[in-house]
């Protein structure tokens, strides 16, 4: 043991990373990242090495269930904690470590790690998961928001809103990932980290297994950056009252600017970056203003991440059992409930307005698809576009109701502003 450690210390490493060399998935992972980690003065060592077992106090016959990291200062980490400690040491992976500091996130990360560790044989494409416990799919979607809820009285409403939405987001990530039943080779395991922490979409199978048809063009990059900076200018102007002195006008300008920054700017650029890296990541917003019907707007162009999620979890099962009308209304009701807890709950008021907005959208889709709607051309062309624009924009104040504007958006703009 002393000889082994002396040899390692001669290289003055930042630490040792221990892996199971009897696991095909772990071996392939180690081969892929060895150069990256060696460059950062980490040495890869099999857990089966005698001095490693003694130093880490591993039983001779014990099961090697997780990777370990031993830092030069003597601290040790295991499993997901070890992964995040490695991420902290790498500049481009540091955001993943920063996100893991949010209360409750590490519980989520550890659950992911344990799941992968318990299915490592899938890395050889030799397993078929049977008797999967479906109820486990939903646990983080319940527990993460519950863990964040106590912060409601401790944080400003707008910060609590972002924290609560983030908790729901990661709960949905876990749900889609668990249900996908992907067989995790090394590429899939590495992409999984990106899927959870660096991609807002929910189509896990496409993201983990498919490749884009062609790399993004320069014009797409310019469009994404243009939207991002335009949104930033609008938010800054709204926060400082340079475009209008009316608080409500500034609030709506701020919400429009945030939409440009996130949905049409940042998320678009992230999609292009993944495409450039060889991953099939489609932008979540697909020219919604080009929609020629209300159904096209909600079903294929606006926030396709959520559309994919509710289509798989709710619309298809309900359509098989109760028909398209019931499925449509229930899906829009689910959207309304999600927006209630994301908008009205942080605002502490305005309950019922977001739900009413989405029920109206569902009714509009049914009108469009009815014999009357088809007869007057609500499903295509200029009439379809006008119907879509009126139905989505006119009642928008129900979705972003005055209580939300007053208690969440305006304080957020005040925090952003310089005045």
Q: pLDDT grade, residue 188 (50/70/90)?
A: low
Residue 163 in this model has a pLDDT that exceeds 80? yes
| 329 & 237 share domain | no
Contact 56, 75 (CB under 8 A): no
CB burial of residue 341 (10 Å; 0-12, 13-18, 19+): middle
Averaged confidence pLDDT in the chain: 84
Query: What's the confidence (pLDDT) of residue 181?
Result: 63
Q: Which of 346, 4, 357 is nearest to 156 (CA)?
A: 346
Q: Which two tokens stand for residue 303?
A: 């926030």
In sequence order, the 6+-apart residues with CB closer than 8 A to the CB of 329 are 359, 362, 363, 366
pLDDT of 347: 96
Give me the pLDDT at residue 169, please. 94
Q: What's the total number of domains in the chain?
A: 4
Is residue 382 one of the residues assigned to a domain? Answer: yes
pLDDT above 50 (res 11): no
pLDDT recorded at residue 390: 95
| pLDDT confidence band for 355 (50 / 70 / 90) | very high
Whether the pLDDT of residue 6 is over 50: the answer is no
| Whether the predicted pLDDT of 412 surpasses 90 | yes
pLDDT value at 13 more than 60: no
Q: Indicate whether 123 pLDDT > 90.
A: no
Residue 81: in which H helix or E strand, if any? Answer: helix 79-88
Q: Quote the pLDDT of residue 129.
A: 44
235 and 264 both lie in a single domain: yes
Q: What is the mean pLDDT of residues 152-168?
A: 94
Q: Is residue 216 part of a domain?
A: yes
When pLDDT is cut at 50, 70 and 90, the band that residue 78 belongs to is confident
Question: Which structure tokens are listed for 163?
Answer: 């924290």
Q: What is the pLDDT of residues 270-306, one digit of tens each?
A: 999 999 888 888 899 999 999 999 999 998 899 888 8
Cβ atoms 327, 315 nearer than 8 A? yes
Given 34, 63, 93, which residue is the final one in a domain? 93
Choose one of 278, 304, 320: the last residue of a domain. 278
Residue 149 lies in a domain: yes
Percent of the chain with pLDDT over 70: 85
Question: What is the rounded average pLDDT of the residues 317-344?
Answer: 90
- Contact (Cβ atoms closer than 8 angstroms) between residue 212 and residue 279: yes
Q: Are residues 406 and 318 part of one domain? A: yes
User: Is 183 in the same domain as 114?
Assistant: yes
Name the DSSP letter for residue 20. -
328 and 406: one domain? yes
Q: Which domain holds residue 158?
A: 102-209
Does 418 reside within a domain? no
Measured over all CA atoms, what is the biggest interatomic distance in the chain, rounded to whole angstroms?
A: 85
Inside any domain, residue 167: yes
Looking at residue 51, its pLDDT comes to 77
Q: Is residue 267 part of a domain?
A: yes
Give the tens place of pLDDT for each residue, 377-400: 999 999 999 999 999 999 999 999
**Residue range 124-142: average pLDDT?**
63
Q: Are 257 and 235 in contact (CB under 8 A)?
A: yes
Same-domain pairing of 114 and 195: yes
Confidence of residue 208 (pLDDT cuts 50, 70, 90): confident
Q: How many other C-beta atoms can be found within 10 angstroms of the C-beta atom of residue 134? A: 9
Same domain, 121 and 183: yes
314 and 253 together in one domain: no
- Of 207, 144, 211, residue with least CA distance to 176: 207
Q: What is the pLDDT of residue 322?
A: 82
Residue 328 pLDDT > 70, yes or no? yes
Higher confidence at residue 190 or residue 244?
244
Give yes or no: residues 236 and 166 share one domain.
Answer: no
Give yes or no: residues 185 and 219 share one domain: no
Domain boundary among the residues 176, 209, 242 is at 209
Q: Report pLDDT for 79.
A: 84
Q: Clarify whether residues 297 and 272 are in a common domain.
A: no
Q: Same domain for 134 and 76? A: no
pLDDT of residue 58: 67
- State the DSSP string of 231-248: HHHHHHHHHHTSS-S-HH
Does any domain span residue 416?
Answer: no
Question: Which residues does 9 contact at the CB level (< 8 Å), separation at least 6?
Answer: none
Mean pLDDT lowest among 258-262, 315-319, 352-356: 315-319
Q: Per the domain annotation, does 371 fall within a domain?
A: yes
pLDDT band at 25 (very low <50, low <70, confident <90, very high): low
């Amino acid at each position: 043991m002393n000889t082994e450690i002396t040899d390692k210390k001669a290289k003055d490493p930042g630490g040792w990373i221990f892996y199971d060399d009897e696991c095909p998935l772990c071996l392939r992972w180690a081969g892929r990242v060895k150069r990256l980690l060696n460059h950062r003065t980490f040495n890869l060592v099999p857990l089966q090495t005698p001095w490693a077992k003694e130093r880490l106090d591993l039983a001779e016959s014990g099961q090697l269930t997780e990777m370990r990291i031993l830092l030069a200062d003597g601290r040790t980490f295991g499993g997901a904690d070890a992964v995040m400690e490695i991420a902290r040491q790498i500049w481009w992976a540091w955001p993943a470590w920063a996100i893991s500091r949010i209360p409750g996130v590490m519980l989520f990360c550890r659950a992911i790690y344990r799941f992968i560790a318990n299915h490592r044989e899938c890395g050889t494409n030799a397993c078929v998961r049977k008797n999967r416990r479906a109820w486990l799919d939903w646990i983080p979607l319940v527990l993460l928001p519950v863990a964040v809820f106590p912060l409601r009285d401790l944080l400003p409403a707008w910060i609590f809103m972002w924290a609560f939405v983030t908790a729901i987001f990661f709960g949905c990530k876990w749900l889609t990932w668990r249900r996908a039943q992907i067989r995790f080779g090394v590429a899939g395991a590495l992409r999984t980290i990106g899927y959870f922490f660096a991609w807002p979409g929910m189509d896990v199978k496409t993201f983990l297994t498919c490749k884009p048809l062609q790399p993004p063009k320069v014009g797409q990059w310019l469009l994404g950056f243009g939207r991002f900076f335009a949104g930033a200018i609008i938010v800054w102007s709204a926060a400082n009252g340079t475009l209008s002195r009316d608080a409500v006008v500034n609030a709506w300008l701020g919400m429009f600017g945030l939409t440009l920054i996130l949905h049409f700017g940042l998320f678009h650029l992230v999609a292009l970056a993944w495409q450039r890296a060889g991953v099939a990541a489609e932008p979540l917003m697909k020219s919604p203003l080009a929609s020629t019907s209300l159904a096209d707007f909600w079903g294929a162009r606006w926030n396709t991440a959520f559309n994919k999620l509710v289509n798989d979890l709710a619309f298809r099962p309900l359509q098989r059992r109760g028909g398209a009308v019931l499925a449509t209304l229930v899906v829009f009701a689910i959207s309304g409930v999600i927006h209630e807890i994301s908008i009205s709950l942080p605002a502490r008021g305005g309950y019922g307005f977001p739900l009413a907005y989405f029920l109206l959208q569902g009714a509009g889709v049914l009108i469009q698809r009815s014999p009357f709607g088809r007869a007057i051309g609500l499903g295509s062309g200029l009439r379809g576009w006008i119907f879509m624009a009126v139905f989505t924009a006119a009642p928008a104040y129900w979705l972003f109701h005055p209580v939300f504007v007053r208690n969440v958006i305006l304080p957020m703009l005040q925090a952003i502003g310089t005045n």
